[in-house]
Amino acid sequence: MPQHVLVPLDGSDHSFAGLEYSLASFPDATLTAVFVVDPTHDATVGTSESTRDRAEDDGERVLDRAVDRAEADGRELRTQLRTGTPHTEILAVASETDVDHVVLGSHGESPIKRPFLGHVSEAVVRRAPVSTTVVPETTTTVRDRELPGSILVPVDGSEQAEAALAYALETFPDATHTALHVQELPFDRPRSEIQGTYLEETLRSYEERSAEILEAATALADDRGMAIETETTAGKPATEIVDDADANDYDQVVMGSHGRSLTDRLFTGTVAERVARRSPRTVTLVRGAPVED
């Protein structure tokens, strides 16, 4: 369960959605908001006030607004105003302090328009030493959700997936949890067409492995006195996770940032980043033990 959450802000609605999510999801955590003044961004010609001075003033106003929002919920918000390359400064705060979770708003726009969104959020997700949450929704949408709500947890039998499920259960005990296993089958044929063929045994092996993985997920929840639902589907992991979360209207996705199936990685950094990039729902990527090759 996060104890100190870092929320990068740039003044946009989507960045403030990250703050809304943090206030609703981590009522007992210390919260720190950071605004990074990028000296290479928004150069202005013909003004008496320096670009950096104006950017620092803008940053202070954004942070003051964030403090006011937190105070409205009876929360204290720490703030930092830094100067430099946005993702580098965000990562520095996460590395140099006791921050154990980062929450970023994101809507995939160019970093030229939104310094903390799009490519910068991807850089933070990829390089952060701690678990991260990407919030692609608007502030209003996040406020309207009854968080933690319903949570989809992709599992593949790895330590990373187990860590993600444990995180979801322990951090959000009042949520409803569903463990999803995606079978990445080595063939692209309807199941009705493989009956009686050599592929039938292959399919049986995958289904047995799915059952084992979901039984382990259920046992992990049982050990904590909690219940979960389980699902199985087949296809490309990133696509199936995003589609399932959208089709079944889950409020958020929690998954390991790395993983390994019996034959190949399912939830590699690339897949996890694809889910975070494409999902219309909030996605948390939980750092587990590193995968050894």
Quick one: pLDDT band at residue 201, thresholds 50, 70, 90?
A: confident
Q: In angstroms, rounded to a whole number, what is the distance separating the alpha carbons of residues 86 and 29?
A: 24
pLDDT at 255 over 60: yes
Domains of the chain are 4-143 (3.40.50.620), 150-286 (3.40.50.620)
Residues contacting residue 98 through CB under 8 Å, at least 6 positions apart: 3, 4
pLDDT at 235 over 50: yes
Q: In angstroms, rounded to a whole number, what is the distance separating the alpha carbons of residues 138 and 84?
A: 27
pLDDT at residue number 206: 76
* Nearest one of 9, 180, 150 to 90, comparing CA atoms: 9
pLDDT at 126 over 70: yes
pLDDT at residue number 28: 96
pLDDT at 278 over 60: yes
pLDDT at residue number 267: 42
Quick one: pLDDT band at residue 241, thresholds 50, 70, 90?
A: very high
Mean pLDDT of all residues in 160-187: 93
Q: In angstroms, rounded to a whole number, what is the distance separating the alpha carbons of residues 187 and 202?
A: 10
pLDDT at residue number 189: 61
pLDDT at 153 over 60: yes
Mean pLDDT of all residues in 33-47: 72
pLDDT at residue number 140: 95
pLDDT at residue number 290: 42
Quick one: pLDDT band at residue 230, thresholds 50, 70, 90?
A: very high
Mean pLDDT of all residues in 138-156: 95
Quick one: pLDDT band at residue 52, thresholds 50, 70, 90?
A: confident
Instruction: Give the side-chain half-sphere CA count within 13 A for 15.
Output: 26
> Any idea which of 65-69, 202-206, 227-231, 283-287 has the lowest mean pLDDT?
202-206
Q: In angstroms, rounded to a whole number, what is the distance separating the alpha carbons of residues 43 and 228?
A: 52
pLDDT at residue number 107: 63
Q: In angstroms, rounded to a whole number, what is the distance separating the alpha carbons of residues 175 and 253?
A: 12
Across the chain, the runs of DSSP E, i.e. the strands, are: 4-8, 30-37, 77-83, 101-105, 131-135, 150-154, 176-183, 229-234, 252-256, 282-286
pLDDT at 116 over 80: no
pLDDT at residue number 112: 37
pLDDT at residue number 41: 67
Mean pLDDT of all residues in 31-49: 73
pLDDT at residue number 108: 45
